Amino acid sequence: MTAASLHPLFPTLFREEKEAAASHSPTFRIETTLHASYGFDRIAGIDEAGRGPLAGPVVAAAVILPLGEDFPGIDDSKRLSAAARERLFAVIQARALGVGMGIVGPEEIDTLNIRRAALLAMKKAVQALPEPPDFCLVDGRDEIPVAIPQGPLIKGDQRSLSIAAASIVAKVTRDRIMRAYHERYPVYGFDRNMGYGTRQHREALKRFGPTPIHRRSFRGVLQP
């Protein structure tokens, strides 16, 4: 069963971005509809962090939350402060039915391209769950290469609690990785820019060149 097969029966579940209720906090509305209509019990929200940076991995998370419970504060990770993300990360790890992580490094990103690398990271995250889900809600437009019923959801991290939880786990995990890299490569400011192409980061690239964790296929990493 794919998202396409769900569209005719649930036209409100997978609407385009312009119709997404992005101004509101995410809820379990989509998950509870999938559970009530199809009997899905283990619904995994899947999201990634790190498509845009010039350095570091792309990190994906798959999170299965217990439906119907309250998770105050969980939201799209981009809407939260670093302190709030860290606090909610601990809550999710403690209360989730399953959390899986997938990490794809710079060399694979350069080989595959960032879109395919992000989908691979999502696949790895699903495969890393302690028990497989029976449905995957995937942030964005793409389905991931797993033989599990799934549906991509545009702005899913602003609509689905499961995807929002995954966005927090992915973001916190990646930020921790980049802060660790800062200890090895302090001149690039990875503890502040997390690998994104800030002015200070680009100036360091011009002066010192790329490190082994830089994405050499990304514009601005290798100087002409």
* pLDDT tens profile 105-128: 999 999 999 999 999 999 999 999
Phi, psi of 59 (to 5 degrees): -120, 130
Share of the chain above pLDDT 90, in %: 86
The per-residue pLDDT for 91 is 98
Could you read off the pLDDT of 50-90 as tens digits, one per residue? 999 999 999 999 999 999 899 999 999 999 999 999 999 99
pLDDT band (50, 70, 90) for residue 24: confident
Residue ranges of alpha helices (H) inside the chain are 3-6, 29-38, 82-95, 106-112, 114-127, 161-184, 190-193, 199-208
Ramachandran bin of 53, using left for φ above 0, alpha for ψ from -120 to 50, beta for the remaining angles: beta
Cβ-contact 106, 179 below 8 angstroms: no
pLDDT tens digits, residue range 147-188? 999 999 999 999 999 999 999 999 999 999 999 999 999 999
Report the DSSP pairing between strands 58-64 and 43-49.
antiparallel
Mean pLDDT, the chain, rounded, equals 91
CATH, domain range 3-11+22-175: 3.30.420.10
